[in-house]
Amino acid sequence: MSDSYPTPPRTETKVKAAATAGAGAAAVITPFAVWLIDLLAFNGDAPPDVPLPVVGVIGLIVTGLAAWGAGYWAKHTARPDLPSTQR
């Protein structure tokens, strides 16, 4: 019985980029987008008058677009450990 464990596969660059962008968008870009929509569409009164379902949709769209864009434009990770599929 061996005491060593197999090395887990590396996390691909596209996955890292998408996860980082999604978290960053949720933390920074979404509140900015909600503030901007409140300012433009709801006259910027305090407290913010943006309805909660609209805030949720804004968060979903902003986070999804940021994650998709970062994953799409991130560099591809070569995976020589996977078998090639040739026809």
The amino acid sitting at 40 is L
Q: Identify the DSSP state of 55.
A: H
User: Is 82 inside any structural domain?
Assistant: no
| pTM, full prediction | 0.74
User: Is 1 inside any structural domain?
Assistant: no
Best CA proximity match to 33, nearest among 70, 3, 63, 2: 63
User: Is 54 inside any structural domain?
Assistant: yes
Q: What is the pLDDT of residue 2?
A: 58
Average pLDDT over residues 12-23: 93
| Total number of domains in the chain | 1
Token digits for 27? Answer: 């933390």
User: Is 23 inside any structural domain?
Assistant: yes
- Quote the domain boundaries for residue 49: 13-73
User: Is 63 inside any structural domain?
Assistant: yes
What is the overall mean pLDDT for the chain?
Answer: 86
User: Is 87 inside any structural domain?
Assistant: no
